[in-house]
Structure 1
Amino acid sequence: MAEPQRGTENRTETHIRTLSSDEPPSCSSLTTKELQQNLREVKKRERPVRLLFEIPSTRIIHHVLSKYVVYEIVVMRSGSFDSHRVPVERRYSDFSRFHHKLLEEFEEELEDVVLPRKHLSGNFSPEIISERRLGLQDYLAKLYSVRCVRHSPHFAKFFTEQEQKRAHDLLRAGQFKPAVEQLQNVLEVEEKLLPWQNPTLIVPTLSALAVCYRDLEEPEKASAAAQRALPPVRRYGLKNYRAALLDLLVDLGYQLGRPVAQLQEELTVLRDAERGEVSPRSLKELVVQQFP
């Protein structure tokens, strides 16, 4: 009789160990304090991600016949998980052009959002610069609170277009390493903006990175960038990018010793189905024409 009893005890112990390691405790076994803690954790995970804008510093740029102030803007996602701060610099004139573009499209929605005014004199005094820095920081926060503005392509371009142009100028000049550094910064900002922007926003940046890495003879990184660009290209029907990315990935696949039959078949089907509509240009040819 003793033997069956020991088996029963072993099974019971095993069952207890399984519950404690693999299953969460039932609500009835938790104290009120533990339930409150769990609820706080759930709320924290479900908290919507927001963008925060900080202008921590400014500097005065002196030229022979002119000088101006540039404002360092840091775009962050709310929450401690966003620890990488990528700054961009903009002049007041950049803010002014941006604001007028938005007014052309969203005049009614921006009725209560005012760009800090430019003073007729004293624009370079520390007090005026500090006042405008805080005003521009508040201006960006108010813009972001307007739904149609934060979803507008103008919003993303304000934070990325100048850097994109510099990166593509470097790429066209064959300066691939500094181009990669610039493009990586652009990608960081674009990733922060993605919840409110079309996912194709990152396609030109990833494509340019793939081209740079290819010319730097880093096929693994080139393939990774191209692979990441492909899903939004497929989903949103960017035919020219799709053919060019597939062509690059097939070539890199042969170079890296990876299977390419599926990619090759997709490329063939695409070209057959869209004959005359899909450009035969390479990814590099597409990229160098971006951001002239």
Structure 2
Amino acid sequence: MASYEHPGSPDWRGPRGQHMAGTRQEISAAGSDDDLPEPEDLGAPGSPGSHSSMTTRELQEYWQREKGGHRHVKLLFEIASARIEERKVSKFVMYQIVIIQTGSFDSHKAVLDRRYSDFERLQKSLLKAFREEIEDVAFPKKHLLGNFREEMVSERKLAFKEYLRALYAIRCVRRSREFIDFLTRPELREAFGCLRAGQYPRALDVLVRVLPLQEKLTPHCPALRVPALCALLLCHRDLERPLEAFAAGERALHCLHAREGHRYYVPLLDAMVSLAYALGKDFASLKARLDESQLRRPTSRVFSLKELIVREYLY
């Protein structure tokens, strides 16, 4: 049987192909292969391979542009502090997680509070979905005694920082529902609970804080941000801020680009038509999109945007 490394094998890629495969493995092991240009790009028009006469400065500028074009959002995790909290029937350590975007000034750093049991639930859910991928990721073990000692708390701060860093370095994990929910679901549940209770200012405050983090975590799937953006629309609308509501709706529609079958698409368009009409904006094009979508996908029962929102994050 022909070896894959033998020139006679149909899968033999030659020295250059083997080198690129090795490079991919190394980058994947380091965290991500998002920044790696495809092999065919190396000889494409405008690339250094096709412009051997480029000066050193021009080459540097080219690779800077290429790197900027391929780079995914990268986040830095810190455990800023830890505090002991005592409730009527329990005592636990609350860890404050600070998440910032690297490479540029981040005016929307996220600050989250999570306890050991939250991390533990994340670990259990990830083991079910990605056991092989995270087998080398260390998780701080639970101890029967000494969990509140200063030395133990400090040790766990460092351990959880490394734990989050290691998880984020694994592409399939950082894009997983489990990882994203760990970092955003408690805040989203709070926001949607406030919205259901009619506490719109409080809901708005939480949404404004969590949405920037959700955007950084979900560039691969913008539709995941739609419920939160629609909740933002509803809060602004019910607080009689139609301009802000319309802006939130535009962001949500952008996330649903070419996804007419999404359950939020028709209710969102319907809400946007009313807002555009009230604001004196071009509602006719929105109404045309709404009518066209309803003709393509006729249904006997269409929920309003608010009816959809109040069903989100109940559990």
TM over 0.5: yes
Equivalent residue letter for 2:286: L
Give the Cα separation in 2 of the matches to 1:232 and 1:100: 31
Matched, 1:211 2:228: no
Residue 239 of structure 1 deviates from its aligned partner by 3.5
- Kindly indicate which of the two structures has a greater share of residues assigned to helix: 1
Give the Cα separation in 1 of the matches to 2:64 and 2:303: 51
Hey, what does 1:61 align to over in structure 2? 85
Match runs of 1:202-241 below 5 Å: 202-241=225-264
CA RMSD of aligned residues (A): 2.2
Seen in structure 2, the aligned counterparts of structure 1 residues 265 and 44 have a Cα distance that, compared at 3 Å, is closer
Give the Cα separation in 2 of the matches to 1:149 and 1:240: 26
Residue 198 of structure 1 deviates from its aligned partner by 1.2
Residue 111 of structure 1 deviates from its aligned partner by 1.1
Q: Which runs of 5+ in 2 are unaligned?
A: 1-54
Q: Which runs of 5+ in 1 are unaligned?
A: 1-30
Hey, what does 1:261 align to over in structure 2? 284
Seen in structure 2, the aligned counterparts of structure 1 residues 40 and 280 have a Cα distance that, compared at 3 Å, is closer
Maintained 8 Å contact 1:156/1:193: yes
Residue in structure 2 matching 1:186, options 184, 189, 210: 210
Select between 227-236 and 141-150 the one with higher mean Cα deviation: 227-236
Residue 43 of structure 1 deviates from its aligned partner by 7.5
Give the Cα separation in 1 of the matches to 2:267 and 2:232: 14
Equivalent residue letter for 2:311: Q
Give the Cα separation in 1 of the matches to 2:59 and 2:176: 40
Match runs of 1:1-292 below 5 Å: 42=65, 45=68, 48=71, 49-195=73-219, 197-276=220-299, 279-292=301-314
State the secondary structure of the residue aligned to 2:225: helix
Q: For residues 14-56 of structure 1, what are the alpha-carbon distances to aligned partners after superposition, in whole Å with 9 as ceiling and x for unaligned?
A: xxxxxxxxxxxxxxxxx98x76985796587468342211111
Residue 284 of structure 1 deviates from its aligned partner by 0.8
State the secondary structure of the residue aligned to 2:159: helix
Aligned length: 261
Give the Cα separation in 1 of the matches to 2:98 and 2:120: 18
Equivalent residue letter for 1:67: K
Seen in structure 2, the aligned counterparts of structure 1 residues 272 and 42 have a Cα distance that, compared at 3 Å, is closer
Q: For residues 127-166 of structure 1, what are the alpha-carbon distances to aligned partners after superposition, in whole Å with 9 as ceiling and x for unaligned?
A: 1111001100000111111121112111111100011111
Give the Cα separation in 2 of the matches to 1:138 and 1:240: 38
